[in-house]
């Protein structure tokens, strides 16, 4: 006889929409409409129902909901577990996606792509997820053709060679490469180099690497600077060797862009071992996550990888698609270059360049 109203709420998972309806004195369907807003409900009824929901601690049963509505309110985040990925960046994507999805009332299912196509088919056929976000997409990604036949909404982070019929988001790496070249040219460097990803990445035809390289080389040429691009492995030894060979072949190089998060530190060490003073006689600018750039000594000028923005943008696009809206095929985020110590001053002997005002 004590606290009769609380009996049900105490056994979690047991309070159903029918309980709420009973408590509020309305029909089950009315409760449903209050929750979904799909039909007009008078304000008084609304409040009464909401109060009952609160009192009973009602949460809709996800399975029942997805069965009846054909929407699961879950999206899948597909990570390829390829080696050589930069885990921290991936993790930042992942959390950004998770948080943004929650803001759109969706949950996130983590899928490692090593189940292959069958895994995606399983999710699609089982109505487990409403849509897909694929991360770390490669230039020739085998998942892309699969996606076209799957009739599930999806958004790619990264840009494949053929983006017909899919939706992609990425940093505009061509512009990022160009921004680096531009920045170095602006500082007065006439001989510049790009230290890029490990050779295997170019071999794999990974889109972002080649777009960066193209952007860098083109802009440098447009600014009349001599430019060269070389691959660079992740480990200290190889990085030092790459730097050594670069400066041996092109000793006049004074501006260097690094597009390799893992090697950034090693490159700086190698430069100083070879007698270069970074930020003084040699300017360095990197394309890498913010925290990496800030942690080096001297702090690196950098174009940051906007992991949070990309994740958020990807989810927003997916939500639009789920609502049937048309979305652009490729969304490229403009790079933002932050100047830090490693390229703070113009090249010795070159005319100082202020903000140009014609």
Please give the DSSP secondary-structure letter assigned to residue 5.
G
Among 46, 65, 204, 223, binds a copy of itself (CB under 8 A): 65
Q: For residues 92 and 304, is the Cβ–Cβ distance under 8 A? A: no
Distance from CA of residue 158 to its chain's centroid?
Answer: 8
Of 312, 248, 304, nearest in space to 276 by CA = 248
Q: Residue 191 is encoded by which pair of tokens?
A: 């001989």
Position 58 contacts DNA (CB under 7 A): yes
Q: Which does 38 bind (CB under 5 to 8 A by kind): a copy of itself, DNA, none?
A: DNA
Element (H, E) at 189: none
Give the residue with the Cβ less far from DNA, 24 or 287.
Answer: 24
Q: Which of 6, 7, 10, 18 binds DNA (CB under 7 A)?
A: 18
Find the binding residues for DNA in span 102-131 (CB under 7 A): none
Select from a copy of itself, DNA, none the partner in contact with residue 16, using the beta carbon and a kind-dependent cut-off of 5 to 8 Å: DNA
Taking CB under 7 A as the rule, does residue 45 contact DNA?
A: yes
What's the rounded Cα separation, in Å, for the pair 166 and 147?
8
Window contacting DNA (CB under 7 A); options: 16-24, 215-223, 294-302, 321-329: 16-24
d(CA 8, CA 323): 36
Provide the edge-to-edge strand list for the sheet that holds 337-338: 226-230, 191-195, 255-258, 283-287, 301-303, 337-338
The residue from 67, 222, 334, 353 that contacts a copy of itself (CB under 8 A) is 67
Q: Does 2 bind DNA (CB under 7 A)?
A: no
Instruction: Kindly state whether residue 244 participates in binding a copy of itself, applying the rule CB under 8 A.
Output: no
Query: Residue for token digits 């702090």?
Result: 299
Task: Please give the full DSSP string across 69-123, using - where no structure is assigned.
Answer: HS--SEEEEEE---TT--HHHHHHHHHHHHHHHHHTT-EEEEEEGGG-HHHHHHH
Q: How far is the CB of 133 from a copy of itself (least distance, A)?
A: 11
40 interacts with DNA by CB under 7 A: yes
C-beta separation of 267 from 233 below 8 A: no
Please identify which residue in 8, 65, 241, 250 interacts with DNA, judged by CB under 7 A. 65
CB of 48 to DNA, least distance (A): 8
**Radius of gyration (Cα) for the chain, nearest Å?**
27
Distance of CA 313 to the CA centre of its chain: 8
Question: Site residues for DNA, window 242-271 (CB under 7 A)?
Answer: none
Residue the block writes with tokens 């929901």: 53
Which residues inside 265-294 make contact with a copy of itself, applying CB under 8 A? 265
Q: How far is the CB of 152 from DNA (least distance, A)?
A: 16
Residues in the site for DNA, rule: CB under 7 A? 14, 16-18, 25-30, 32-33, 35-36, 38-42, 44-46, 58-61, 64-65, 67-69
Q: Which residues in this chain contact a copy of itself in the complex, by CB under 8 A?
A: 12-13, 15, 57-67, 70, 72, 74, 77, 79, 81, 87-88, 90-92, 94-95, 98-99, 102, 107-112, 114-115, 119, 121-122, 124-128, 150-152, 236, 265, 295, 297
């Amino acid at each position: 006889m004590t606290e009769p109203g609380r009996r049900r709420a105490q056994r979690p998972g047991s309070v159903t929409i029918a309980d709420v309806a009973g408590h509020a004195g309305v029909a089950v369907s009315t409760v449903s409409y209050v929750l979904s807003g799909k039909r007009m409900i008078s304000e008084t009824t609304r409040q009464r129902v909401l109060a009952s929901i609160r009192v009973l601690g009602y949460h809709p049963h996800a399975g029942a909901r997805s069965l009846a509505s054909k929407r699961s309110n879950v999206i899948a985040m597909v990570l390829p577990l390829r080696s050589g990925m930069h885990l921290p960046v991936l993790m930042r994507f992942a959390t950004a996606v998770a948080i943004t999805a929650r803001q759109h009332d969706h949950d996130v299912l983590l899928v490692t792509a090593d189940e292959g196509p069958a895994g995606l088919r399983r999710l699609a056929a089982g109505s487990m997820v409403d849509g897909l976000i694929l991360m770390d997409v490669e230039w020739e990604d085998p998942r892309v053709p699969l996606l076209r036949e799957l009739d599930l909404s999806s958004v790619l982070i990264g840009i494949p060679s053929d983006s017909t019929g899919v939706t992609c988001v990425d940093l505009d790496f061509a512009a990022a490469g160009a921004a680096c070249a531009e920045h170095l040219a602006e500082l007065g460097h006439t001989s510049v180099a790009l230290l890029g990803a490990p050779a295997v990445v170019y071999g794999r035809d990974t889109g972002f690497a080649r777009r960066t390289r193209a952007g860098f080389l083109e802009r440098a040429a447009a600014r009349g600077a001599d430019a060269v691009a070389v691959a660079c492995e992740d480990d200290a030894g190889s990085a030092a060797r790459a730097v050594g060979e670069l400066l041996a072949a092109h000793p006049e190089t004074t501006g260097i862009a690094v597009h390799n998060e893992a090697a950034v530190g090693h490159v700086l060490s190698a430069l100083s071992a070879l007698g270069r003073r970074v930020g003084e006689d040699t300017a360095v600018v990197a394309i890498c996550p913010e925290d990496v750039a800030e942690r080096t000594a001297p702090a690196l000028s950098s174009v940051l990888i906007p992991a949070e923005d990309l994740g958020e943008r990807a989810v927003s696009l997916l939500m639009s698609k789920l609502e049937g809206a048309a979305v652009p095929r490729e969304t490229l985020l403009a790079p933002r270059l932050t100047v830090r110590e490693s390229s703070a001053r113009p090249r010795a002997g070159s005319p100082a360049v202020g903000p140009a005002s014609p």
